[in-house]
Structure 1
Amino acid sequence: MASARKTIEVPSMPAGQAPRSKKRPPPPPYYLPLNITLYVFLISNAIAAFLAPIQDCDEVFNFWEPTHYLDHGYGLQTWEYSPVYSIRSWLYVTIHAIVGKAASLALVTKSSQFYAIRFFLALICAACQTRLYAAICRTLSPKIGLFFLMIIAFSPGMFHASASFLPSSFTMYMSMLGLTAFLDWRRQKIAQGIMWFGLGAIIGWPFAGALIVPLLLTEVLVGFIAGSLGTVVSGIFNGAIRCLAILAAEIAVDYAFLRKFAVVPWNIVAYNIFGGEGKGPDIFGTEPWTFYIRNLLLNFNIWFILAMSAAPLLLLQAIFRPQATKKEVPLRTLAVIAPFYMWFAIFTAQPHKEERFMYPAYPFLALNAAIAIHIILSYVGSKGSKGANGTLLAQAKLTIVTLIVLAAINAGLLRTVGMITAYNAPLKVFEPLERLDIPHTGDSVCFGKEWYRFPSSFFLPDGMRAKFIRSEFRGLLPGEFPDATDYPALFDGTSQIPEGMNDLNQEDAGKYVDISQCSFMVDSYFPSHDATELEPDYIHDESQWEVMSCKHFLDASQTGLIGRLIWVPDLPGLPDQFQRKWGQYCLLRRRHMYYQADYPTNYHYRRQHNMTFTILPSTITQHHLSNVTAICLLATLTTYLLHSLWRKHHISKSPESDLEQKSLSPASKFKQPTRKPGEWIPSDFKRPPAAPYPDWDVHTTEPKPYRPFRYGPKYFITMGLRSMKWDEWIELDNHYPRYHADKARRIKERGAKCSKTAPEAMDAAMELLEELSTYLPERYPTLFRKTPTGITNLLTQETLTTVPPLPEDPMQTCGRLIQDDLALMLERPDGEYYLLAGSILLAGFWRLEDKYGMRLSDIHTSGSVPGYKEKLEKGMMNFFRRLRPEDPVLRNNYFIQVDESLPWSHSIGSEDGETVSWNTAEKNRAIEHHFFRSERQSLRRLPRSGAVVFTIRTYFEPITEVVKEPYVPGRLASAIRSWGEDVARYKGREKYGEVLLEYLDRMHEVQVAQGLEVDKEEEVRSYPF
């Protein structure tokens, strides 16, 4: 009998015992650990922080200069900071000024403070990118996350946006955090998502609040469908309260600086939308509707095309590959791809266009493109013919896709290097000023036609001021904040109304100084540009100016298309159309200002200046070599990591592996995972297709005779797990019509009391419904047929919808399809598993409403499960934590019931009663009222959501029928007698034991008298039958 008592127990590590192996299980294919991900993002962003040119003069005059004013007491001021208009928030600037002030404690030069602030922005951006990457891997797919990482790390667009001191970049950071919160569907972080988007819209750019609309509408729709709209509304209200607190903080800070009440976000909206004729953004220039198409193609190349293709690809997949659509096109996937389309449409329709307006949508563009390439790969990588030809075809497809991806990465890198080498002269030309050992107080650096390339006062020594001289430009130039030597003076300066400011971009002559006041001059020279009276060639005016520093600057008007788009090495012999043509960007010093010994003039420049600019000297190539090398090293490192991931996935997906043929010990199946509690990284595992049930018929296939009890005298309390074959996940038989009718009646009568899904479990419930709608037509083709939007029951002619939006709770739909009850357990950050979704229609002894929302431990302890704390809890918790999607298991148990009701045992009390127990049952009823209730439970982890799904199939038969089977009466009597007092109390033996045991003993004697050979039982049966 010993062999009959064997059970597969979940392995747990005894306290203090060392693990057998220190080797950790490998992470899912394509998943890059978060520490490496952070390093990749940070390296990419840091290169941008130290090398990227400033693309927009708004960044300098509206943000760097006010920050310089707060840190150093002087700086340039635009009309937007005038208390009359107040359309820029001092809170946003103050945050960065604090970073700069802290950096000044350790750094000597002001330019180093500039780079410190930029690096701080790069770090914040990298942290946001990493959080979003983790959410994408956890919620969507590690493959999508990997492509997202590649796009973000190597796109020129993100290179510029990541470390820019602009509200649109800040809003981009917050949008990434907001999207991260909304992607966490299981934990319902609506309030957190609203807060992050609100933070970006209030402190950064109010128009970016539009990005939340599709996400929020989806939450409302899902909440309405799931019957949890109240929870969604509560989350929205909570998020709104947080946003109001943020707005109050901004108003308070702005009041301190402006000495007036101002709601800056509203002022921005009012100016841009309700400014009136002759005002608003259009006065600063307009662009054709194709502007963003061309710009995004430059900044994202093929990724932009893929991002625009995401929705069409999803539609095509839904039409032509519906079997894949079930996982790839949930309602929430449509929600995450919609913001980019909406943002692109809104700003394409606006006449005034600037590259930075697209920054908040860059993460959404990258996610769309990642989803699109994932769909393409799911088709390209679909299994074809086996054997050598199939392997070669798969390798060819993989090679082609890999080459396309690497080409996109290289194109982005070449574009980035091209921008750095072509346009970063303004960040380098002021370096000699930091090396001068003479006083600069009162000195001025003047800007004429190069006013818009001034990189900020952080590049000028203390006391040296930037001034403007008249040029051909006829718009409004910045003025100056009043000098401040302490903090009270700062607040006085920001609250003063400056003279000569207007919101019409009308020139103010008071912004110019006479050239005689200029100690230094910044000017450019391009051989193709003619000098004018207001913009003379200062560089060649050797009688007045001498060169301190010159850097090469791309002459875009003379450079061919290729040279403008990407980096081209400046090598002799290149065809003219590929050569990059150069001008000079120079810092000049007025002659006779200082003694010659004060600073060594760049005499070599005079000789070089007479050379032709058509071919770059070799010294220029050497000048940019370090920049190119740094970026190429990053590309090489990341390419190596990506190659390793591809190789690892290829090895792990060996075609020889067969899930149904593997024989693994429990210890090898349930290894300790390395993921954080409550965090699930979607697995690429797919259930093998189910073979049709042989000769199955809804009218003739009998239920399987599960008899999961063993002889005494000892009763073993274990989980009793055994491996499950995938074909046998769901068992249906000729009792299906009665079960189906009972469930339909129960759903109609009791509804949400029996079927319910928490908002955070909605994705898991949808995944379960998708799994069932695929499995059932495969396994039972005579009963179910899959349709493009659902599944048809061929017996009842019902067609149930399985794609959003659903007409009912998804768990309710799942319950209608099968004879099993269903429960979903999800892990939260505390490491505990909670019952957050279920369809419990035929449980007999317990109610979903009593257990819903409970921890796994509380479910068992509240039901007084015998031996749970002492013998089951630790092993069960370990099992749940370690269960993998590819390792489903089965278990069985049994009860005795003393009434004939399958859905609910009325003998233990009313289903709507406050409490239920065996105390209410009638004692020693006639044997005709005794029923054998057996349960077959399957447990498996869903690969996408990580939820653990229970299927609980109940078999319900009269005892008088069960005892007709050989050996059953004697074995069942022995099993019931082996129960300890706690088990007997739990199973209600006191109410039926006397009658039942007497009957079983008598029937056993009858079988023995009829010739039953007791000692041969093991030869004719096996557990659990």
Structure 2
Amino acid sequence: MVSKGKANVGKGKSSTKRGVDTTSRVKTVTQPKKTAKPKNEKKKEGKSAKSNSAVNKGIYPSADIAFKALLSARFCAAMWSNISDCDETFNYWEPSHFLLYGKGFQTWEYSPEYALRSYTYLLLHVLPAWIYANILQPNRMLIFYFVRCLLGLFCAFCESYFYKSVCKEFGVQVGRLVLVFLLFSPGMFISSTAYLPSSFSMYMTFLSTAAWIVRKYELAIFSVALSTFISWPFAALIGLPIAIDMLFIKKYYRKFIQWAVISSVIILVPIIKMDSELYGRFVIAPLNIVTYNIFSNNGPNLYGTEPICFYFINGFLNFNMVFIAAIFAPSVIEERFLFPVYPLICLCGAICIHSMQVIYSVLISMIFGKNSQKLPSSRFISIITAAGVVVLALSRILALYKGYHAPMDIYMELNKMHAEGKVDSNVPVNVCVGKEWYRFPTSFFLPNNNWNLKFLQSEFKGQLPAEYSSLGNATAIVHSYFNDMNREEPSRYFKIDQCHFIIDCNYGRETKLEPNYDKQTDKWTPLVTIPFLDAEKSSTLFRSFYIPFVTADKCSFAKYTLYKSNSFKLIENQ
């Protein structure tokens, strides 16, 4: 971890006692009588003092200003970020939709036979959504964005506390850089409003790290415990430096044990009670997921594994120069598994860049001596770095939105048709997906419970989610069709002749199980088509970063399309 030295900023203030400045009292005795200075010199000093005061105020955004800026960035993410992982959809949004409306998809992880996921984490999000839904009764899609905005609000709060602590401990120079990285990094844009346990662990990393570096150990321990038990057990590793600091450096044995026990009891007991009630048997979900991933023969090898180079590529795309800097800072699977360390990447990157400024200043002083004051300040290093980070970050965010936002836009069209009265609200409507099943955003994008998402057989040979039972004890029912081997389950497939709509992407490639519906004009009519990036046919550089007037020429786009069955008639508005 980064060493925690006291910042020198603001340490030169005189000591006071009961409001009396004792230092100034000494100065009046020891200093010789001041001689009068010319008026023009006094004016210069006054201007200089005002200038320094203005600079100090301008270069140090307060925690309130930082919070407002971060909140604006997080609300932008809530509105415009994509759902980048089907795990977010089917393991979190879908069970939440079921808890709210009695309908949604269930994955094998939520089967009582395995019980790998905690319903407690879901209830933290479902409760405010339920209150909002019952008071205002909005469109379900608005509830989706409401929950996202709540996530953004909480993330901004955690980030602002982190920023304040960094400024206090490492200085405002490091704090300013951290704030810039948090505001503009694509990694934060993606993770800040993602409905994933790893995002919650990221929030807790902000809190635990911020509390630790300002010596608020109780909050640090409690935050790590929240992260471990409520969201992601493996995030406990992030608390290891805190434990080492308290036990082996500070020797706070009693405080550590006391708060570790208190936190575990306060958090774990309600989790066990709520999960056991919903699963219909005694369940410790955090223990189950650790056991599955470490001791099971299947474990993570079936899901979410990537080569080591993926992490470096992903780190650069999400943090560009910040990630490179973080690698060289003092030491401290899939993309979502990196979310909990994003705060540390931002901090380490900022410390590294500030260290480069210090090294530059020392070298200049050694080479040029007193004349070094006439040379450019080391501030240009942070300015150039921050500018580069912002440009690359915005380019990456635009590339993600323009390339991959089509699925969410297409599903919004279903709500539009329903709102315009083109589909009878009392008639069951089947919306079918084949190879694009994993880009389904969530059932919150379907108008009501009469609209059903159905799976068509495709070249995908893994296990698809199943609908929750309509019975009252649906969360406690053990189904024989779930397995932990990612083995294909044919009972999930739906007959295409019973589909009213199909959502598919035409990449110009087709097989028997994944046909080109554009050619089947006798059966299907395209209603809405939106460009969708075809990564295989596009330049790696220009699909990763959006460059106006260039990306469109260097990248290939498929057609993400909403098709209507010719046998299904829409209601014409009079």
Return the TM-score normalized by structure 2: 0.86
Alignment of 1:20-39 (within 5 A): 30-39=59-68
Matched, 1:208 2:189: no
Counterpart AA for 1:465:
N
Q: Which has the larger radius of gyration?
A: 1
Alpha-carbon distance in 2 for matches of 1:214, 1:447: 46
Correspondence 1:287-298 to 2 at 5 A: 287-298=306-317
Question: 143, 166, 172: which is aligned to 1:142?
Answer: 172
| 1:458-477 aligned within 5 A | 458-463=444-449, 464-477=451-464
Judging changes above 3 Å, is the alpha-carbon distance between structure 1 residues 419 and 575 closer, same or farther for their aligned structure 2 residues?
Answer: closer
Deviation at 1:106, TM superposition (A): 2.4
- Tell me whether 1:427 sits opposite 2:408 in the alignment: yes
Contact 1:522–1:587 (Cα < 8 Å) also in 2: yes
Q: Equivalents in 1 of 2:57, 2:117: separation in Å?
A: 46
Which of 281, 289, 294 is the equivalent residue of 1:268? 289
Could you tell me how far apart the structure 2 residues matched to 1:239 and 1:575 are? 52
**Structure 1: how far apart are the matches of 2:256 and 2:85?**
38
Q: Which residue of 2 aligns with 1:494?
A: 475
- The alpha carbon displacement at 1:412 in A equals 1.1
Superposed counterparts of 1:220-369, under 5 Å: 220-223=247-250, 229=251, 231-276=252-297, 279-284=298-303, 286-311=305-330, 337-338=331-332, 353-369=333-349
Hey, what does 1:159 align to over in structure 2?
Answer: 189
Q: What SS does the aligned partner of 1:430 have?
A: helix
Q: Quick one: which amino acid aligns to residue 34 of structure 1?
A: A
Looking at structure 2, the residues matched to 236 and 48 of structure 1 have their Cα atoms a distance apart, in angstroms, of 39
Partner of 1:592: 567
Task: Indicate yes or no: 2:380 matched with 1:399.
Answer: yes
Match of 1:557 among 536, 545, 549: 536
Q: Deviations over 1:675-724 (max 9, x none)?
A: xxxxxxxxxxxxxxxxxxxxxxxxxxxxxxxxxxxxxxxxxxxxxxxxxx
Q: Could you tell me how far apart the structure 1 residues matched to 2:527 and 2:381 are?
A: 52
What pairs with 1:696-775 in structure 2 (closer than 5 Å)?
none
CA distance in 1, matches of 2:284, 2:565: 46
**Distance in 1 separating the partners of 2:407 and 2:132:** 22
Contact 2:108–2:465 at 8 Å: present in 1 too?
A: yes
Residues 1:129 and 2:159 aligned together: yes
- In the TM superposition, residue 29 of structure 1 has moved relative to its aligned partner by 7.0
Per-residue CA shift, 1:351-381, capped at 9, x if unaligned?
Answer: xx10111100110111111111111112224
RMSD: 2.3
**How far apart in 1 are the matches of 2:570 and 2:357?**
68
Question: Where does the alignment leave 5 or more consecutive residues of structure 1 unmatched?
Answer: 1-8, 13-22, 224-228, 312-336, 339-352, 600-1025
Structure 1 residue 124: deviation in Å?
Answer: 0.6
Compare relative contact order (CA 8 Å, sep 6+) and give the higher one, 1 or 2: 2
Alpha-carbon separation, structure 1, partners of 2:171 and 2:59 = 9
Q: What is the CA–CA distance in structure 2 between the aligned matches of 1:80 and 1:245, rounded to whole Å?
A: 25
Q: Secondary structure at the match of 1:118?
A: helix
CA offset digits 1:978-997 (Å, max 9, x no partner): xxxxxxxxxxxxxxxxxxxx
For 1:200, the aligned partner's letter is S
Secondary structure in structure 2 of the residue aligned to 1:195? helix
The verdict on how the C-alpha distance between 1:575 and 1:241 changes in structure 2, with shifts beyond 3 A counting, is closer
Query: Pairwise mapping of residues 791-830 of structure 1 onto structure 2 (< 5 A)?
Result: none
Matched, 1:379 2:366: no
Unmatched runs of 5 consecutive residues or more in structure 2:
1-18, 23-49
Give the counterpart letter for 2:306 in structure 1.
E
CA distance in 1 between partners of 2:246 and 2:225 (Å): 17
Contact 2:89 2:442 in 1 (8 A): yes
The superposition leaves residues 777-832 of structure 1 with CA deviations (integer Å, 9 ceiling, x where unpaired) of: xxxxxxxxxxxxxxxxxxxxxxxxxxxxxxxxxxxxxxxxxxxxxxxxxxxxxxxx
User: Separation in 2 of the partners of 1:184 and 1:398?
Assistant: 26
Q: Secondary structure at the match of 1:284?
A: coil
Equivalent in the alignment of 2:127: 98
Aligned length: 517
Does the residue aligned with 2:513 lie in a helix, a strand or coil?
coil
Q: Secondary structure at the match of 2:463?
A: coil
| 1:531 positional shift | 0.9
Instruction: For residue 560 of structure 1, report the CA deviation from its aligned partner.
Output: 0.9
Report the CA distance between 1:289 and its aligned residue: 2.1
Residue 454 (str. 1) matches residue 440 (str. 2): yes
**How many Å apart are 1:240 and its aligned residue?**
2.3
Which residue number in structure 2 is paired with residue 177 of structure 1?
207
Structure 1 residue 174: deviation in Å? 1.0
Q: 1:151 & 1:107 partners in 2: Cα distance?
A: 38
The separation in 2 between residues aligned to 1:307 and 1:71, in whole angstroms, is 42
Q: Which residue of 2 aligns with 1:479?
A: 466
Structure 2 residue 505 is matched with structure 1 residue 524: yes
Please give the secondary structure, in 1, of the residue aligned with 2:572.
helix
Between the aligned partners of 2:570 and 2:462, the Cα distance in structure 1 is: 38
State the partner residue of 1:582: 557
Q: How far apart are the structure 2 equivalents of 1:303 and 1:442?
A: 50
Identity, % of aligned positions: 33
How far, CA to CA, are the matches of 2:302 and 2:169 in structure 1?
44
Change (3 A) 1:181 1:575: closer
Partner of 1:194: 221
The offset of 1:265, in angstroms, is 0.5
Distance in 2 separating the partners of 1:202 and 1:210: 13
In structure 2, give the amino acid aligned to 1:504: M
Following superposition, the deviation at residue 596 of structure 1 comes to 6.1
> Partners in 2 of 1:447 and 1:133 — Cα distance?
44
Residues 372-381 or 265-274, more deviating: 372-381
What amino acid is aligned across from residue 496 of structure 2 in structure 1?
I
- 2:93 aligned partner: 64
Deviations 1:160-208 (A, max 9, x none): 11000000001111111111221122xxx32321111110110100000
User: Helix, strand or coil for the counterpart of 1:48?
Assistant: helix
Q: Deviations over 1:294-316 (max 9, x none)?
A: 111111111111111112xxxxx
CA contact (8 A) 2:177 2:386 kept: no
Q: Secondary structure at the match of 1:524?
A: strand
> Does the Cα contact within 8 Å between 1:41 and 1:153 map onto a contact in 2?
yes
- What is the alpha-carbon distance in structure 1 between the residues aligned to residue 117 and residue 573 of structure 2? 42
Tell me the distance in 2 between the aligned counterparts of 1:537 and 1:597. 28
Question: Does 2:51 correspond to 1:51?
Answer: no
Partner of 1:620: none
Residues 445 and 221 of structure 1: CA distance in aligned 2, closer, same or farther (over 3 Å): same
Question: Deviation at 1:526?
Answer: 1.8
Work out the CA distance in 2 between the residues paired with 1:394 and 1:97. Answer: 55
What is the SS of the residue equivalent to 1:394? coil
For 1:120, the aligned partner's letter is L
1:349: which partner in 2?
Answer: none
Cα distance change on mapping 1:301 and 1:207 into 2, 3 Å: same
Give, as a single letter, the amino acid of the residue that structure 2 aligns with 1:10.
Answer: V
CA distance in 1, matches of 2:317, 2:347: 18
Contact preservation (8 Å) 2:177, 2:382:
no
Q: Using the TM superposition, give the Cα deviation of residue 399 of structure 1 relative to its aligned residue in structure 2, in angstroms.
A: 3.3
| 1:40 paired to 2:69 | yes
User: 1:595 deviation in Å?
Assistant: 4.3
Report deviation, 1:403.
2.0
Quote the residue 2:32 is aligned against: none
Q: CA deviation at 1:287?
A: 2.6
Q: 2:157 corresponds to which letter in structure 1?
A: A
Match of 1:10 in 2: 20
| d(CA) in 1 for partners of 2:573, 2:470 | 29
